[in-house]
Structure 1
Amino acid sequence: MGIYVNDSPPSQSRQFFRRKCQDPSLTGPILIVIATAIANVLSVAVVTSQIITALGKTSTTQLILVFSYVRILVLSIVGVFLMWFAVTAIIYVTMEKLNASQKSFRDLFKLVGWGFTPAVFSGLVSGVATFLVYTQVSFPSDPAQFSALFSSLRNNPIFFTSRLLFVTFTLWQGLLWFFAVKNLYDVSRRVAGGSVVVPTLLWLFLPLSSII
């Protein structure tokens, strides 16, 4: 039993952030955040591709497709980095108001970046779900009918499962931020947990797709 507890995911996360607090690096978090941005555009890329196919693959639509992919990816990367900064700022201000020991915003920023790891998996799951659903339907050639198609697929069981997994991944994300704060500030579980409630709810109720 002791071996199981020591090797449990929460224990591994605690030990991971304990090591990272000694010498926070920016390279790993940046790669994680970029991966998050790429994973989160997969769903939009699938739908865009299906729309272009329905409209006909002419040279113009192909150009529109490439432009759309580049635009979505750039906006996604910007959006995730803004969320990274926002989450860090919220936690930093919260800890200041709780009179926690002063820590470097830069160190907190680096540690918070690691917490986006579950968002990579969430984006991949969403992309796969979108692919499984939208590749099984025929898109109308009339763009005016797209809205009705999207509405009819909204309650698809695959999307429902994807949303449940999104909630699970978001809670995991909050747990990682919890360990980041607890180890960096060396505070109680109650204080660390209270500092990550707002960022976790922000990520949960303001999906990346709504800001790109």
Structure 2
Amino acid sequence: MPSVLALLTDPDAFFRTRVPDPSLKGPLAVIVLIAAANAAAALVQSRFMSQVFESGGMGGGFATALQGIIFVFVIFGPFVIWLVYAGVFQGISALFDGDGEFSTTLAFTGWGFVPSVLGSVASIAINYYRFNVRGVDVPDEMSMEAYRQFSQSLQTGPLVALSATLALVFTLWSGFLWTFALKHARDLTLRRAALTIAFPTAIGLLATLRTLLVALEVL
């Protein structure tokens, strides 16, 4: 059975050899790594978020509770996204006469998130530099005008553009892996597999592209 390295070098062979035994252990580990990286990124931003809540006049207890909710979301979010993508892929592939168990689609979809692990690690580094090294000025009082300017500053700039550009690359990479994943998970031709993953992947690409354009102040 090919090593995980084969996923990056020969995804067609990687998924083909896993059809008889589509274990969820490896994909689950991938999603856990993403969740852990997201949690680390949230911790990196925690001091900054506390300053934002304080500037907005939120009490310490409310701010702590809100940060806790955010923390839970970033941890469990990747698992929900994994299930949603697998479900959408399963449904769309049925339109192309796909044949295969949902458990196989779920497992193979999970492997397609491997680029997101790299993206999450890159996000930690960028956010650490942005919020803990360079720093972001938080207004002492969050008036409507101050909030507007502050919000704009968070959405623009070279670091935001860098994050968005990397996200585009990693999303395209995931789409490439998912094409071969669905080819073997649902017994599709390569063309039909590509069509299966096209719409969900395009939505992610368009959302990230908008973030990039805003960061570059094009929109």
Q: TM-score range by the shorter chain?
A: 0.7 to 0.9
The alpha-carbon deviation at position 103 of structure 1 amounts to 0.8
Q: Name which of 130, 134, 140 aligns with 2:131.
A: 134
Question: Deviation per CA, 1:157-193, whole angstroms, max 9, x where unpaired?
Answer: 1221111110000001111111111122343221110
Task: Give the whole-Å Cα distance in 2 for the aligned partners of 1:73 and 1:41.
Answer: 6
The normalised TM-score by structure 2 is 0.75
Q: How many residue pairs were aligned? A: 196
How do 1:1-212 and structure 2 match up within 5 A? 11-52=9-50, 55=54, 61=60, 67-100=65-98, 102-135=99-132, 136=134, 137-144=136-143, 145=146, 147-205=148-206
Task: Give the whole-Å Cα distance in 1 for the aligned partners of 2:65 and 2:97.
Answer: 48
- Segments of 4+ in structure 1 off by > 6 A? none
The alpha-carbon deviation at position 65 of structure 1 amounts to 6.8
- Judged with a 3 Å threshold, the aligned counterparts in structure 2 of structure 1 residues 81 and 11 are, in CA distance, closer, same or farther, namely same
Say which SS state the counterpart of residue 20 (structure 1) adopts. coil
- Once the two structures are aligned, what percentage of the paired residues are identical? 26
What residue in structure 2 maps to residue 4 of structure 1?
A: none
Task: Give the whole-Å Cα distance in 2 for the aligned partners of 1:23 and 1:15.
Answer: 14
The alpha-carbon deviation at position 122 of structure 1 amounts to 1.5
The alpha-carbon deviation at position 108 of structure 1 amounts to 0.9
- Judged with a 3 Å threshold, the aligned counterparts in structure 2 of structure 1 residues 33 and 125 are, in CA distance, closer, same or farther, namely same
Kept after mapping to 2: 8 A contact 1:84/1:112: yes
Root mean square deviation of aligned Cα: 2.8
Say which SS state the counterpart of residue 22 (structure 2) adopts. coil
Say which SS state the counterpart of residue 45 (structure 2) adopts. helix
Unaligned runs of 5+ in 2: 209-219
Task: Give the whole-Å Cα distance in 1 for the aligned partners of 2:190 and 2:79.
Answer: 27
Task: Give the whole-Å Cα distance in 2 for the aligned partners of 1:64 and 1:132.
Answer: 27
Task: Give the whole-Å Cα distance in 2 for the aligned partners of 1:8 and 1:81.
Answer: 24
The normalised TM-score by structure 1 is 0.77
In structure 2, what residue type is equivalent to 1:127?
I
